[in-house]
Amino acid sequence: LDEARLRVMRVAGVNRVSLGIQSLDDRYLAYLGRNHDADKARQAYRMVRGAGSAPQNPAGKGAADLSPRGFTNVNVDLMFSFPGQTLEEIKADVAGLTALGSEHISLYMLNLEEHSRFYARKVRLPDDDLQAGQYGMVAAELERAGYGQYEISNFARPGKESRHNLNYWQGGEYIGLGVGAHSYLDGKLSWNVDRLNIYIDRVGRGEPAVAGFRQLDGRERFKQALLIGLRMNRGVEVEGLQRLLDSCLTAEEQGKIEQFIRHGFFVREDGYLKATDKGRLVLDELCSQLI
């Protein structure tokens, strides 16, 4: 990241920047294989904010002002639950990131993807109970710092919730640009090729970069919107979703939902079906059982 790149983004109309800081502990950044350290992360954040930058007009009077005025809507990513990471270390990371003053913070836990170097090393992650405790602590610390949770992994200052993420979670349409990107239009889910050289070759020849697609029927669109919507704190207005997509829950699915409500995983409030704090900790498992 540099100021020239930021100027191009500003001129192009970009109004939100997300920085993959992940941690402000150099040991864990090295463990992740990141090419930045904590100082570089803070420097990048200050650059995005435009700290100390003065208006530049190299072409003289009347020319376009291409200086980065400073982005006023910034997200930073926080990753936690590394093997051996202590609660004190996680708290220090949360304190360091919130001190930056971004408008939005996204949380991630380290996952072991097959064929990744962590998977090959047979890295042992903390057990589920420990991860749940760490997640609860991080969520509470972010709330205390003024970041309201609106989705399982996302926290924002009032009015700064990610609009494009909300669009995904509410079943909206979107266009994916780039290698491996997904698009969703008119009920059709499509995805681009995931090899950079193939992508460049196709685009260079003026050919579509799409690798495949799948047309979702009303039932599939309903299930997708329901499961994704349950990630949001506001939950899902199931009846409205059923009318919109002309589909509905089966008797078996309704029975499972009632069971989850009795066990305190879900709750109904103001016409919305929501996951409770307890339910959010095991939401993936609940959804796999539900549909």
Q: Do 150 and 156 meet the contact criterion of CB atoms below 8 Å apart?
A: yes
What's the pLDDT score for residue 120?
Answer: 66
Q: Would you place residue 61 in the very low, low, confident or very high pLDDT band (cuts 50, 70, 90)?
A: very low
What's the pLDDT score for residue 290?
Answer: 86
pTM of the entire structure? 0.84
pLDDT, tens digit, 9 for 90 and up, residues 15-27: 999 999 999 999 9
Residue 107 above 80 pLDDT?
A: yes
What's the pLDDT score for residue 68?
Answer: 44
pLDDT, tens digit, 9 for 90 and up, residues 127-162: 888 988 999 999 999 999 999 999 999 999 999 999
Type of residue at 174: Y
pLDDT, tens digit, 9 for 90 and up, residues 162-211: 998 888 888 889 999 999 999 999 989 999 999 999 999 999 999 999 99
